Amino acid sequence: MTIELLIIGLLLILIAGSVHGALGFGFPMLSTPVLALAYDLKTAVVLTIIPSLVVIIASLLNCRDLIATIRRYSLIISTVAAASLLGAWVLTWANPNILKLLLALSIFLYLFSNNIKQYSSHLAGHPVLFALVMGSLAGSIGGATNAVAPILMIYLLEVSKSTKEIIIVSNTCFLLSKLMQIAILATHLTTDDIQPSALVMISLAACIGLMVGFSIKNKINAESYKVIIRYVLSLFMCVLGYQGISNLALSL
């Protein structure tokens, strides 16, 4: 990797940390496509585990009423955690190019979630089934690609109007998903997957970005960040989709 690409990558990781600090979610999903452009998806997921844990835990420590909110949403949280085990197991053997396409599809789902709102609204009339279905999808896809947020956000925006609740539940789900990934991947990792120097640089960039996000959290309109996220994710979706399709075509 050239020094120019390294600098650009770390700047994008810093931005991902800033977005998470300002909005309460986004780091695992934004950072994984950045790293997936330079590494295979398994290595990209591994390299985000420690930085994600730091960012997520710091975000939860900034919240109030943690226990009460977690109890209220215990079904979706436990479902996401259980399904993440399946997703992490899939990550250990699945074709990385197919997983890249799955990540691109997850981002597409996030960007155009309004188009399926009518279906989720109907399912929301059955609270237990809604939590089980959306939690299973979010956890399994998130465990394999780090993209817990798209489906989880569709669920949370449907059942809650509280930004505070969304931040607490999403970060709790992200945290448990990371722990499930660690439990599964720990037995499949090699020294090549871990790459300590890259892990340290990514963690530092993420932490700096998180602090920046915390400092501007109440100063910048969250809608502006949502617009930026949509544009950035659109770019990643196109690049990852192209990589996945072209590499699969070459392997045939």
Domain boundaries, position 210 = 3-251
Q: Which residue has the higher pLDDT, 164 or 116?
A: 164
Residue with tokens 């250990």: 92
C-beta of residue 19 within 8 angstroms of C-beta of residue 213: yes
What's the confidence (pLDDT) of residue 73? Answer: 96
Instruction: Reply yes or no on whether the pLDDT at 71 is more than 90.
Output: yes
What's the confidence (pLDDT) of residue 44? Answer: 82
- Using a pLDDT cut of 70, give the percent of the chain over it: 89
Instruction: Reply yes or no on whether the pLDDT at 190 is more than 70.
Output: no
Residue 185 tokens read as 């991947």
Q: Which residue has the higher pLDDT, 118 or 67?
A: 67
Instruction: Reply yes or no on whether the pLDDT at 223 is more than 80.
Output: no
What's the confidence (pLDDT) of residue 32? Answer: 82
What's the confidence (pLDDT) of residue 81? Answer: 95
Q: Taking residues 27-54, report their average pLDDT.
A: 83
Residue with tokens 């970005």: 209
What's the confidence (pLDDT) of residue 57? Answer: 92
Q: Which residue has the higher pLDDT, 64 or 179?
A: 179
Q: Which residue has the higher pLDDT, 219 or 143?
A: 143
Q: What is the largest CA-CA distance in the chain?
A: 53
What's the confidence (pLDDT) of residue 208? Answer: 93
The whole-angstrom separation of Cα 195 and Cα 199 is 6
Residue 211 tokens read as 């602090």
Q: Which of 74, 76, 20, 7 is nearest to 48 (CA)?
A: 20
Query: Using 50, 70 and 90 to split pLDDT, how confident is the model at 14?
Result: very high
What's the confidence (pLDDT) of residue 126? Answer: 87
What's the confidence (pLDDT) of residue 65? Answer: 85
Instruction: Reply yes or no on whether the pLDDT at 132 is more than 80.
Output: yes
- For the chain, the domain total comes to 1
19 Cβ contact list (under 8 Å, min separation 6): 26, 27, 30, 209, 213, 225, 228, 229
The whole-angstrom separation of Cα 210 and Cα 228 is 17
What's the confidence (pLDDT) of residue 21? Answer: 86
Could you give the residue ranges of the DSSP H alpha helices within 39-162?
A: 41-61, 66-72, 74-91, 96-111, 117-123, 127-145, 149-159
Burial tier of 70 (Cβ tally within 10 Å: 0-12, 13-18, 19+): middle
C-beta of residue 158 within 8 angstroms of C-beta of residue 124: yes
Q: How crowded is residue 208: how many other Cβ atoms within 10 Å of its Cβ?
A: 15
What is the chain's percent helix, strand, coil content, to nearest 5? 85, 0, 15
What's the confidence (pLDDT) of residue 225? Answer: 60
What's the confidence (pLDDT) of residue 118? Answer: 65
What's the confidence (pLDDT) of residue 39? Answer: 79
Q: How crowded is residue 38: how many other Cβ atoms within 10 Å of its Cβ?
A: 14
Q: Which residue has the higher pLDDT, 49 or 154?
A: 49
Instruction: Reply yes or no on whether the pLDDT at 66 is more than 60.
Output: yes
Query: Using 50, 70 and 90 to split pLDDT, how confident is the model at 40?
Result: confident
Instruction: Give pLDDT tens digits for 88-125.
Output: 898 888 887 788 788 788 778 777 766 666 666 677 77
What's the confidence (pLDDT) of residue 120? Answer: 66
C-beta of residue 18 within 8 angstroms of C-beta of residue 213: yes
The whole-angstrom separation of Cα 115 and Cα 84 is 26
